[in-house]
Amino acid sequence: MDSAVSAQVLTSMTILIVDDSPAQRLSLVAILKAAGFQQIQGCDDAMAAFDLLNRQSVDLILMDVSMPHINGIEACRRIKNQPELHDIPIIMVTASVEVSDLEAAFEAGATDYIVKPPHQIELLARVRASLRLKYEMDQRKAKEAELRQLTIDLSHALKSLDEKHKQLRLEQEKSERLLLNILPKPVAERLKHGQQVIADHFPAVTVLFADIVDFTSLAARMPAQDVVALLNAVFSRFDWLAEQHGLEKIKTIGDAYMVGGGIPTPRPDHAQAVAAFALDILRVLQGNEHTSHLLRVRIGMHTGPVVAGVIGTKKFIYDLWGDTVNTASRMQMIGNPNTIQVSEATYQHLKDTFKLEERGLIPVKGKGNMRVYYLLGRR
């Protein structure tokens, strides 16, 4: 600390003189004021000093040892026992030079001592040293308090950041779940990694369409809420079955359900997996006493090449295009209720592992006559 600044700081600090002798107090005040100290308080006994300390901040105490009622050493001990007053330096002013008295004063917490009558130079030197000590302690305490507050603020900031990070992670997980509800996982990963255009050609996949027969007329006889609830229950079951068979649900179109096998991850048994799924659809609907008398379904399957990709910028959709899709839709449209109709191409994939029955040549819109088969079950 700069000496000029030091003098200015020190002389602005508050000194308390506790002495039962008015003459002694006046003498000390005169010396201190002559040296530039202006903030000086005086008390004639320990009780008055305690009262003042409870009301006012003090930086240094000059304490007489020999006082009536409560002597200076006991007063020093009581002050030092109070945490809020503990750091105030206390200089004992004593006429005694007995070693035992000095030891008692230091044991009580005194910082220094001066023998009466005090020499001016010695008094000012000890006062300045004690005040400098008090100033440095105050600065240290202020820095520690600032550091504690910074630690608290940092802790709160880290906690807030951690909460925001958790919230962000939850939002990211939610967004990923929503994305996975719309897109196949491999496709979603490609989109997340910045791929702008996703379009793939698959040489061999199996596409299935399942359509609820006469659902329009059925829906006209039911409340709207019941219609939605029924479709949700049926298609949720279809979703579960598709997942169990490792198939990709493409979309629902009204009361029609579209699924693909062998996309977006190719698999050699795509036709078999879709066939097993189709059989499970019939089993679920016909085995449910609540829906078997209401719902009949036409199912069509075809195997061939498709193009698959993502379209849209806000509402993504993973879709399939190509003649294979159109043909699978036609297989469903010309089928009979509660049957699974497959094309010749799909038949070639299934004939060794599933039971099929030839229906014959059937005219198909836009395709001419096609040989079609009913899928009956596993061999």
In the chain, what percentage of residues exceed pLDDT 70? 93
What's the pLDDT tens digit per position in 116-148?
888 899 999 999 999 999 999 889 999 999 999
In which band, very low, low, confident or very high, does the pLDDT at 289 lie, cut at 50, 70 and 90? low
Q: How far apart are CA 153 and CA 155, in angstroms?
A: 5
What's the pLDDT tens digit per position in 76-91?
999 999 999 999 999 9
Q: What's the chain look like in SS3?
A: CCHHHHHHHHHCCCEEEECCCHHHHHHHHHHHHHCCCCCEEEECCHHHHHHHHHHCCCCEEEEECCCCCCCHHHHHHHHHCCCCCCCCCEEEEECCCCHHHHHHHHHCCCCEEEECCCCHHHHHHHHHHHHHHHHHHHHHHHHHHHHHHHHHHHHHHHHHHHHHHHHHHHHHHHHHHHHHHHCCHHHHHHHHCCCCCCEEEEEEEEEEEEEECCHHHHHHCCCHHHHHHHHHHHHHHHHHHHHHCCCEEEEEECCEEEEEECCCCCCCCHHHHHHHHHHHHHHHHHHCCCCCCCCCEEEEEEEEEEEEEEECCCCCEEEEECHHHHHHHHHHHCCCCCEEEEEHHHHHHHCCCEEEEEEEEEEECCCEEEEEEEEEEEC
All structural domains of the chain, each given as residue ranges with its CATH number in brackets, are 3-143 (3.40.50.2300), 185-378 (3.30.70.1230)
What is the structure's pLDDT at 222? Answer: 85
In the chain, what percentage of residues exceed pLDDT 90? 63
The one-letter code for the residue type at 237 is R
Considering only 60-69, 96-105, 232-241, 296-305, which range has the smallest mean pLDDT?
96-105
The residue among 225 and 288 whose pLDDT is bigger is 225
What's the pLDDT tens digit per position in 309-344?
887 666 678 889 999 999 999 999 999 999 999 999
Q: Please state whether the predicted TM-score (pTM) of the whole model is above 0.85.
A: no
**Distance between terminal CA atoms of the chain?**
98
In which band, very low, low, confident or very high, does the pLDDT at 298 lie, cut at 50, 70 and 90? very high
